[in-house]
Amino acid sequence: MKVLVLGAGKMTEAILTGLKKTENLASWVIYSPSGISAQKLAGRVGARAINDLKLMESPDWILIGCKPQQLPVLSASLNGQFKESLFVSMLAAVSEADQIKMLGIKELIRIMPNMPVEFNEGVTLLASDSSKVRLPSFQALFAKLGTSLVVTESELEELTLLTGSGPAFIYEFAKNLSASFESLGDEDREKLVRQVIKGAAKNLSASSDSLDELTTKVTSKGGVTIAVLNYWRESDLSQKLKSAIEAGKKRAVEIKVTLRS
Ligand SMILES: NC(=O)c1ccc[n+]([C@@H]2O[C@H](COP(=O)([O-])OP(=O)(O)OC[C@H]3O[C@@H](n4cnc5c(N)ncnc54)[C@H](OP(=O)(O)O)[C@@H]3O)[C@@H](O)[C@H]2O)c1
């Protein structure tokens, strides 16, 4: 299968690195305007790089991996080439209808992957109105990178903050948790916190217990863990978390408006 990849940044690299473990990417072609990131990534995953789109014959499908603000330039470089092809776009903040209009194409599937796809432990959300029939085959492809879920476009947009941004929230939490202690140096404490999260993640995936049940297994009545949890509950951590997510959602709307104008 011939696939054209437009952009060779962090997210594209994570996807291709994850896929390379089960797929032969020799017929995948990667394009980036400078040619440098495409060349590097192609070398790492066994694909081919180009920096002139005219050198590309019609692909089976096209993966868009640039930033939303780079879409107008990309659209100008494409100049209607491949308009009959299916585009699969990881762009946040630009609707399926707007991307179809900007690129002058007919079919587009939006995907929202997250960085752990690199280790085949990611989440990829997929949504499309224009290419519903091809959704199942792409759901199967992205299932090779972890959980792959077909949702509506509005669900994809809301859940981007949970699945796409989620890993960053965990890292920030880990940093703050580690900084709440004094023993050992920062580096050694960070090693401990990484292992705690890795162990907790393993527990989460191996156990059928609910999140409440898992929490209860770590706590005892009147103990130290529940003292910390009670402090969080009394200081309304859940409301603070919700307000922070609302700030992210508000920013997503602002970005969408900026990109449309
Ligand atoms: N990072 C995440 O965790 C994450 C999660 C979910 C979704 N996403 C989405 O993934 C996309 C890429 O994000 P990223 O973090 O991977 O960005 P990035 O690292 O900055 O990579 C952007 C890539 O796009 C290329 N590019 C720039 N202009 C282009 C053009 N006109 N045509 C084709 N390619 C072009 C760049 O090539 P040069 O090197 O030549 O400039 C670079 O390879 C974004 O749309 C983002 O919304 C990211």
CATH number at residue 107: 3.40.50.720
Residue with tokens 């705690």: 196
Going by the DSSP 8-state scheme, the letter that residue 9 receives in this structure is S
Query: What's the pLDDT band for 74 if we cut at 50, 70, 90?
Result: very high
* Per-residue tokens: 200: 């907790």
Provide the domain limits for residue 203.
Answer: 166-256
Residue 170: which residues within 8 A CB-CB, separation 6 or more? 197
Same-domain check for residues 144 and 236: no
The answer as to whether 159 is a domain residue is: no
Same-domain check for residues 26 and 138: yes
The answer as to whether 228 is a domain residue is: yes
Same-domain check for residues 86 and 215: no
Smallest CA separation from ligand 1 atom 40, residue:
34
Same-domain check for residues 208 and 138: no
Same-domain check for residues 50 and 177: no
96 vs 90: CA distance, rounded Å: 11
Same-domain check for residues 215 and 119: no
Residue closest to 25 by CA, chosen among 51, 44, 39, 11 = 44
The closest-lying atom of ligand 1 relative to the alpha carbon of residue 89 is 45
The closest-lying atom of ligand 1 relative to the alpha carbon of residue 66 is 24
3-state DSSP call for residue 240? helix
The answer as to whether 158 is a domain residue is: no
Residue 115 Cβ contacting ligand 1 at under 6 Å: yes
Q: What is the pLDDT of residues 36-65, one digit of tens each?
A: 999 999 999 999 999 889 888 889 999 999
Residue 70 Cβ contacting ligand 1 at under 6 Å: yes
Q: What is the model's pLDDT at position 51?
A: 87
Provide the domain count of the chain: 2
Same-domain check for residues 101 and 78: yes
Q: What is the model's pLDDT at position 249?
A: 94
The closest-lying atom of ligand 1 relative to the alpha carbon of residue 160 is 6
Domain boundary among 103, 122, 152: 152
Domain boundary among 127, 152, 177: 152
**Average of pLDDT values for 201-218?**
96
The answer as to whether 203 is a domain residue is: yes
Residue 161 Cβ contacting ligand 1 at under 6 Å: no
How is the beta sheet containing 28-31 ordered, strand by strand? Answer: 48-50, 28-31, 3-6, 61-64, 86-89, 107-112, 122-127, 146-150
Residue 146 Cβ contacting ligand 1 at under 6 Å: no
Same-domain check for residues 75 and 37: yes
User: Ligand 1 pocket check: which of 63, 66, 78, 103 to mutate, most ligand atoms within 8 Å of Cβ?
Assistant: 66
The closest-lying atom of ligand 1 relative to the alpha carbon of residue 168 is 3
| Ligand 1 mean position, distance from CA 18 (Å) | 17
Same-domain check for residues 22 and 143: yes
* Per-residue tokens: 223: 């103990």
Same-domain check for residues 176 and 117: no
Q: Tell me how far the alpha carbon of residue 242 is from its chain's centroid.
A: 21
**Average of pLDDT values for 211-227?**
95
Same-domain check for residues 173 and 104: no
Q: What is the model's pLDDT at position 21?
A: 96
Share of residues in the chain with pLDDT > 90 (%):
91
The answer as to whether 251 is a domain residue is: yes
